[in-house]
A and B are shown apart, each in its own frame.
Chain A
Amino acid sequence: MFDKLRQNKSFQGTLLVAPTLVFMIGLLIIPLILTAVISFGERDSSGGVIYSFGLHNYYKLIGYSTNCDSGASSCFDMLYVQILWRSLTLAFQTTMIVISLAYPLSYFIARATPSKRNTYLFMVLVPLWTNFVIRVYAWMMILRTQGVINGILGAIANLLHIPFAPLEMLYTPGAVLVGMVYEFLPFMILPIFTSLEKIDNSLYEAAADLGANSIKTFFKVTLPLSMPGVVAGTILVFIPVMGTFIVSDLLGGQKVILVGNLIQRQFLDARDPTFGSAASLVLMVMTLIVTYFYTKKFGFGEEIIVA
Chain B
Amino acid sequence: MSDFAVELRDVVKSFQTPEGGWINAVDHVDMKINNGEFFSLLGSSGCGKTTSLRMMAGFEWPTEGEVFIAGQPQGKKPPFQRPVNTVFQSYALFQHMTVHQNVAFGLEMEKVPSKQITERVGKALEMVKLSGMDKRYPKQLSGGQQQRIALARALVKLPSVLLLDEPLGALDLKLRKEMQLELKSLQREVGITFVFVTHDQEEALTMSDRIAVMSHGKVLQVGPPIEIYERPNCKFVADFIGDTNFFEGVVTGIDDKKVTAHIPLLNSTLVGMNTGGVRLNDKVVISVRPEKIRLTETCVLTYNCFEVNVKSSAYIGSDTRLEVESERQRIKIWEQNHISTLDPRAYHQGEVKAFATILPENALVLPAE
Binding site for B on A (CB under 8 A): 200, 202-203, 205-213, 216, 220-221, 224-225
Q: Decide: A203 and B96 in contact? CB cutoff 8 A.
A: no
Tell me if B321 counts as interface (CB < 8 A to partner A).
no
Query: How far is A39 from B233 in the complex, measured between Cα atoms in Å?
Result: 90
| Contact status A224-B92, CB under 8 Å | no
Instruction: Say yes or no: B80 contacts A206, CB within 8 Å.
Output: no
* Pairs of residues from A and B, 3 with the lowest C-beta to C-beta distance, nearest first: A211-B109, A210-B106, A206-B92
B 251-308 contacts with A by CB, 8 A: none
The answer to whether B109 and A225 have CB atoms under 8 Å apart is no
* Contacts between chains A and B (CB distance < 8 A), count: 58
Once bound together, how far apart are the Cα atoms of A207 and B96, in whole Å?
Answer: 13
Which A residues lie within 8 Å of B109 (CB)? Answer: 210-212, 216
- Measured CB to CB, the nearest residue on chain B to A204 is B92
Query: Which residues of the other chain, B, contact A208 by a CB distance below 8 angstroms?
Result: 59, 78-80
Hey, which chain B residues are within 8 Å of A212, CB to CB? 80, 105, 109
| Chain A hits for B157, CB < 8 A | 210-211
- The B contact surface, by secondary structure, is loop
> Among residues 42 to 82 in chain B, which have CB atoms less than 8 Å away from a CB atom of chain A?
57-59, 78-80
Determine which of B80, B90, B92 lies in contact with A211 in the assembled complex, contact meaning CB atoms within 8 Å: B80
Separation of A68 and B162 alpha carbons in the complex (Å): 81
- Name the CB-closest residue of A to B150: A206
Q: A216-B109, A221-B94, A224-B96 are in contact. Are A210 and B80 (CB under 8 A)?
A: yes
In the complex, which of the residues A202, A212, A221, A225 has the most CB atoms of chain B within 10 Å of its own CB atom?
Answer: A202
Inter-subunit contact B105/A209 (CB<8 Å)? no
Contact A206 B88 (CB under 8 A): yes
How long is the Cα–Cα vector from A209 to B95 in the complex, in angstroms?
17
| Docked-complex contact A209 and B96, CB < 8 angstroms | no
Are B96 and A205 interface neighbours, CB within 8 A?
no
| Cβ-defined contact, A210 with B85, below 8 A | yes
Residue B153 at the chain A interface, CB threshold 8 Å: yes
The reply to whether A205 and B88 contact each other, CB–CB distance below 8 Å, is yes
CB pair B80 A209 closer than 8 Å: yes
B93: chain A residues within 8 A (beta carbon)? 206
Q: How far is the CA of A212 from the CA of B94 in the complex (A)?
A: 13
**Per a CB cutoff under 8 Å, which of B86, B94, B105 touches A205?**
B86
Residues on A with beta carbons closer than 8 Å to the beta carbon of B86 = 205-206, 209
Assuming the A-B contacts A208-B79, A209-B79, are A202 and B106 also in contact, with contact meaning beta carbons closer than 8 angstroms in the complex? no
**Is A203 within 8 A of B80, CB to CB?**
no
> Once bound together, how far apart are the Cα atoms of A202 and B79, in whole Å?
13
Q: How far, in Å, is B197 (CB) from chain A's closest CB?
A: 14
A280 to chain B, nearest CB (A): 38
Q: Which of A203, A207, A211, A225 has the most CB of B within 10 A?
A: A211
- Apart from A202-B92, A205-B86, A213-B80, what are 6 other A-B pairs with CB-CB below 8 Å? A200-B90, A209-B79, A209-B86, A210-B85, A210-B106, A225-B94
Contact of B92 among A205, A216, A220 (CB under 8 A): A205
* Residues A205 and B106 in contact in the complex (CB < 8 Å), given A211-B80, A221-B94: no
Q: Report B-chain residues with C-beta under 8 Å of the C-beta of A210.
A: 80, 85, 105-106, 109, 153-154, 157
Q: Is the CB of A205 within 8 A of B90?
A: no
A-B residue pairs in contact (CB < 8 Å), sample of 28:
A200-B92, A202-B89, A203-B92, A205-B92, A206-B92, A206-B94, A207-B94, A207-B105, A208-B59, A208-B78, A208-B79, A209-B59, A209-B79, A209-B80, A209-B85, A209-B154, A210-B80, A210-B105, A210-B109, A210-B153, A211-B80, A212-B105, A213-B80, A216-B109, A220-B94, A224-B96, A225-B94, A225-B96
Q: How far in angstroms is the closest Cβ of chain B from A167?
A: 46
Chain A proximity of B292: nearest CB distance (Å): 43
Q: Does B110 count as interface, using CB distance less than 8 angstroms? A: yes
Report the bound CA distance from A33 to B149 in whole Å.
54
| Distance A203 CA – B93 CA, assembled complex (angstroms) | 7
B81 to chain A, nearest CB (A): 9
Interchain CA distance A219-B79 in the complex, whole Å: 19
**Assembly CA distance A208 to B109 (angstroms):** 10
Which chain B residues border A221 with CB–CB below 8 Å?
94
Residues of A within 8 A of B95 (CB): 225
Q: In the bound complex, do residue A202 and residue B105 qualify as a contact, i.e. CB atoms below 8 Å apart? A: no
How long is the Cα–Cα vector from A221 to B85 in the complex, in angstroms? Answer: 18
Contact with A along B83-109 (1 / 0, CB 8 A): 001101110111110000000011001
Residues of B201-236 whose CB lies within 8 A of A:
none
Residues in A neighbouring B154, C-beta threshold 8 A: 209-210
* Distance of A211 Cα from B80 Cα, bound (Å): 5
* Chain A positions within 8 Å of B89 at CB level: 202
B80: chain A residues at CB < 8 Å are 208-213
Distance in Å from the Cβ of A208 to the closest Cβ of chain B? 5
Question: Chain B residues with Cβ under 8 A from A213's Cβ?
Answer: 80
- A224 to B95, alpha carbons, bound, how many Å? 10
Considering the complex, give the chain B residue whose CB is closest to the CB of A303: B95
Residues of A within 8 A of B106 (CB): 210-211
Q: How far is the CA of A208 from the CA of B85 in the complex (A)?
A: 10
Chain B residues whose CB sits within 8 angstroms of the CB of A207 once the complex forms: 94, 105
Q: Roughly how many angstroms separate A209 CA and B93 CA in the complex, as a whole number?
A: 12
Q: A211's closest neighbor in chain B, by CB?
A: B109
Residue among A202, A216, A220, A225 making CB contact with B88, cutoff 8 Å: A202
The answer to whether B57 and A202 have CB atoms under 8 Å apart is no
